[in-house]
């Protein structure tokens, strides 16, 4: 994507910005696909993967695009976990996984249980 992006230091990246390219970790594994709208939770995990600079799209993301992306993630999570009832206590492991995936994809902030 020549000229349509810029490299930003992690400290300069804000939630709502969009990746202009696939994000790879230091081993070359894909962390996030191109076009991902970054959330606070995603940005908080970047240092763990050795990420200090991100390729960010220059085009501004409208609230409509963010809402559509979140709606897409919600629909995809519902499809992936369609056989799991999150209110049922019978499959706690899948319910926990669903909660973590949902929190990560939708950008839900972690709250400390003990202060």
Q: For residue 53, tell me if it sits in a domain.
A: yes
pLDDT per position as a tens digit, 34-65: 888 899 989 999 999 889 999 998 766 677 77
Hey, what are 83's tokens? 């056989």
Residues 38 and 76 in one domain: no
Residues 28 and 48 in one domain: yes
Q: Distances in Å between the alpha carbon of 28 and those of 1, 32, 50, 70?
A: 19, 12, 11, 27
CB 97 within 8 A of CB 86: no
Q: Which domain holds residue 45?
A: 5-57
Say whether pLDDT at 114 is over 50: no
CB 62 within 8 A of CB 16: no
56-85 average pLDDT score: 81
Q: What is the pLDDT of residue 92?
A: 85
Count of other CB atoms within 10 angstroms of residue 105: 19
Model's pTM, two decimal places? Answer: 0.53
Residues 32 and 49 in one domain: yes
CA 63 to chain centre: 16
Mean pLDDT over all residues of the chain? 82
């Amino acid at each position: 994507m020549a000229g349509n992006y810029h490299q930003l230091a992690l400290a300069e990246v804000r939630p709502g910005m969009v990746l202009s390219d696939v994000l790879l970790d230091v081993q070359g594994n894909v962390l996030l696909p191109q076009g991902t709208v970054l959330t606070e939770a995603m940005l908080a995990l970047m240092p763990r993967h050795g990420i200090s600079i991100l390729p960010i799209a220059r085009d501004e993301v409208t609230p409509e695009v963010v809402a559509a992306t979140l709606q897409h993630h919600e629909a995809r999570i519902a499809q992936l976990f369609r056989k799991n009832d999150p209110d049922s206590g019978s499959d706690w492991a899948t319910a926990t996984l669903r909660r973590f995936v949902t929190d990560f994809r939708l950008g839900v902030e972690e709250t400390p249980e003990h202060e």
